[in-house]
């Protein structure tokens, strides 16, 4: 949530930012409602002052007519206060609705664009894998290796669900532990988070828990939802608290299942594990002082690069354009791995990292004490360390061998206990 004073003082820039993001919001309406709120507060304070004055006049000996007049006046003031409180509540709710629609400002260097195809490549590590034989995609490999069962997943839970089995189970566990061990060495505190969060936490982070466009599974009648990422639960961990960042940023690494409706997701590159309703993910989350967030954003990106470099998977980094940025993000980088199973091969997103500045912290009430002792909203950042399902795609497709087997990258072998997965079918 943007500060209303900032919106008022930078109205043209806020409107331009909304246009560049291709979002719908009305900051002028928010400013008008903020003015109405100020007026309503002044009115209410005036009535409360009149009530105190009336009470003061009631003390002591009074003529019956005077006392009755003051009683009648007091009743009118009481009714006025009740009406003014309702008016203020209505205006405050309307203001919150309008403020919630306004996205975060974008970093000055964020490219202006509408779709992910407008995201420029800013770095590449490794070159696209050349296999020397016709590539299989991860769905075909998973079936031949007998490590992924989409058919059983569909039968038991519906489309876009799956079973991992045999070496596939240990592959997920190995990727999880490989990433967690790396993050702990980087100073992150490990967590296993709940898979459910309250709707107000989702809204605070910037997720829409309801509606046709929502990607979230609400749990009807409970006021809670299945989480789409541990960003939600890690972000909510310090809600309505004053945190201590005096000795350095708070770094959290959360393991959770992620549940996404993936409404409207279609196409050949969405098949298999790429877009599923449930997967496992390790998420990085940081709370810090405002002057630290830009550097920490680069640090999170460097960690993502280190993870996939260590897995020997070719990837590139793209700078996410305004239209693909998402409301909370000030700046966002996507890491895209090479996926040989996509026709002649294609880049596919495997991680992202965002600097959300104080946008989420204002909504969640997460603050720190500055050098002057004043409470200020922290800056909050998030980054996918690994989404296991997409990591498995990249690993299977890049390390497939001519005989149908899949080699395990060297850094992962101590975690899997095997260096190759051989076909069973």
> What pLDDT was estimated at residue 262?
82
> CA–CA separation, 36 vs 53, rounded Å?
26
> What pLDDT was estimated at residue 289?
98
Residue that the structure tokens 């903020």 belong to: 34
- Whether 263 shows a pLDDT value over 70: the answer reads no
Measured on CA atoms in the order 321, 326, 327, 328, is the torsion positive or negative?
negative
> What pLDDT was estimated at residue 425?
77
Q: Are 229 and 256 in contact (CB under 8 A)?
A: yes
> CA–CA separation, 11 vs 27, rounded Å?
7
β-pair type (331-339, 224-226): unpaired
> What pLDDT was estimated at residue 177?
98
> What pLDDT was estimated at residue 67?
86
- Whether 361 shows a pLDDT value over 60: the answer reads yes
Q: Say which residue, 240 or 264, is predicted with more confidence.
A: 240
Cβ-based burial of 61 (10 A; exposed 0-12, middle 13-18, buried ≥19): exposed
- Whether 242 shows a pLDDT value over 60: the answer reads yes
Cα–Cα separations (whole angstroms), residue 191 to 24, 168, 252, 361, 392: 36, 23, 7, 20, 22
Cβ-based burial of 410 (10 A; exposed 0-12, middle 13-18, buried ≥19): exposed
What angle is formed at CA 352 by the lines to CA 351 and CA 354, rounded to 5 degrees? 160
Percent residues over pLDDT 70 in the chain: 98
- Whether 264 shows a pLDDT value over 60: the answer reads no
Mean pLDDT of 344-366: 96
- Whether 341 shows a pLDDT value over 70: the answer reads yes
Residue that the structure tokens 């936490």 belong to: 201
Residue range 116-421 forms a domain whose CATH class is alpha beta
Mean pLDDT of 81-105: 95
> What pLDDT was estimated at residue 214?
81
Beta carbons within 10 angstroms of residue 283's beta carbon = 28
Residues 227-247 as b/e (b if ≥16 CB within 10 A, e otherwise) read bbbbbbbbbbbbbeeebebee
Q: For residue range 266-308, what is the model confidence (pLDDT) as tens digits? A: 555 678 999 999 999 999 999 999 999 999 999 999 999 999 9
Whether residue 331 lies in the annotated active site: no
Whether residue 50 lies in the annotated active site: no
Cβ-based burial of 269 (10 A; exposed 0-12, middle 13-18, buried ≥19): middle
Q: Which one of 275, 316, 376, 422 is the catalytic residue?
A: 275
Q: For residue range 182-216, what is the model confidence (pLDDT) as tens digits? A: 999 999 999 999 999 999 999 999 998 877 678 99
Average pLDDT, the chain: 95
Q: For residue range 406-416, what is the model confidence (pLDDT) as tens digits? A: 999 999 999 99
Strand, coil or helix: 345: coil
Q: Which one of 256, 352, 354, 389 is the catalytic residue?
A: 352
Mean pLDDT of 314-325: 97
Q: Which one of 21, 260, 363, 367 is the catalytic residue?
A: 260
Whether residue 87 lies in the annotated active site: no
Q: Are 189 and 253 in contact (CB under 8 A)?
A: yes
Whether residue 29 lies in the annotated active site: no
- Range with lowest mean pLDDT among 95-109, 196-210, 262-276, 338-352: 262-276
Beta carbons within 10 angstroms of residue 52's beta carbon = 11
Q: For residue range 3-21, what is the model confidence (pLDDT) as tens digits? A: 999 999 999 999 999 999 9
What angle is formed at CA 419 by the lines to CA 417 and CA 421, rounded to 5 degrees? 100
> CA–CA separation, 164 vs 144, rounded Å?
13
> CA–CA separation, 95 vs 32, rounded Å?
9
Percent residues over pLDDT 90 in the chain: 91
Q: Which fold has domain 4-101?
A: Helix Hairpins (1.10.287)
Q: For residue range 38-59, what is the model confidence (pLDDT) as tens digits? A: 999 999 999 999 999 998 888 8
Whether residue 38 lies in the annotated active site: no
Which of 382, 359, 366 shows the shortest CA–CA distance to 239?
366
> What pLDDT was estimated at residue 77?
94
- Bridge partners for 161 per DSSP: none
Alpha helices (H) along 102-158: 138-145, 150-157
Beta carbons within 10 angstroms of residue 423's beta carbon = 14
Q: Domain boundaries in the chain?
A: 4-101, 116-421
Q: Which one of 167, 172, 283, 349 is the catalytic residue?
A: 349
């Amino acid at each position: 949530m943007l500060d209303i004073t900032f919106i008022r003082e930078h109205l043209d820039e806020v409107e331009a930012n909304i246009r560049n993001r291709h979002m719908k919001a009305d900051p002028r309406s928010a400013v008008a409602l903020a003015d109405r709120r100020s007026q309503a507060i002044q009115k209410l304070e005036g009535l409360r002052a009149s009530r105190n004055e009336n009470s003061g006049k009631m003390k002591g000996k009074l003529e019956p007519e005077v006392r009755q007049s003051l009683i009648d006046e007091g009743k009118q003031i009481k009714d006025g206060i009740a009406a003014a409180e309702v008016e203020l509540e209505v205006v405050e709710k309307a203001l919150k609705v309008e403020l919630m629609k306004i996205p975060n400002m974008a970093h000055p260097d964020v490219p202006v664009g509408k779709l992910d195809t407008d995201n420029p490549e800013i770095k590449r590590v490794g070159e696209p894998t050349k296999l020397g034989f016709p590539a299989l995609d991860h769905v075909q490999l998973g079936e031949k290796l007998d490590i992924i069962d989409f058919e059983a997943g569909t039968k038991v839970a519906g489309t876009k669900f799956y079973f991992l089995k045999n070496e596939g189970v240990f592959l997920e566990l190995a990727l999880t532990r490989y990433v967690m061990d790396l993050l702990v060495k980087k100073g992150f505190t490990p967590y296993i988070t709940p898979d459910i969060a309250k709707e107000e936490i989702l809204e605070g982070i910037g997720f829409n828990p309801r509606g046709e466009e929502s990607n979230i599974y609400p749990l009807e009648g409970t006021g809670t939802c299945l989480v789409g990422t541990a960003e939600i639960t890690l972000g909510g961990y310090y809600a309505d608290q004053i945190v201590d960042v005096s000795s350095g940023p708070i770094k959290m690494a959360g393991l959770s299942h992620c549940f996404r409706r993936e409404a409207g997701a279609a196409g050949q590159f969405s098949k298999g594990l790429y877009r599923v309703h449930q997967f496992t993910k390790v998420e990085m989350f940081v709370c810090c002082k405002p002057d630290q967030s830009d550097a920490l954003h680069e640090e999170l990106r460097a960690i993502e690069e280190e993870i996939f470099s260590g897995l020997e998977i070719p990837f590139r980094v793209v700078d996410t354009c305004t239209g693909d940025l998402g409301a909370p993000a000030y700046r966002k980088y996507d890491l895209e791995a090479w996926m040989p199973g996509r026709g002649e091969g294609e880049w596919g997103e495997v991680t992202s990292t965002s600097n959300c500045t104080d946008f989420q912290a204002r909504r969640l009430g997460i603050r720190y004490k500055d050098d002057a002792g004043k409470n200020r909203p922290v800056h909050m950042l998030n980054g996918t360390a690994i989404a296991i399902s997409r990591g498995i795609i990249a690993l299977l497709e890049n390390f497939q061998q001519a005989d149908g087997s899949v080699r395990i990258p060297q850094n992962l072998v101590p975690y899997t206990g095997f260096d190759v997965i051989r076909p069973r079918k």
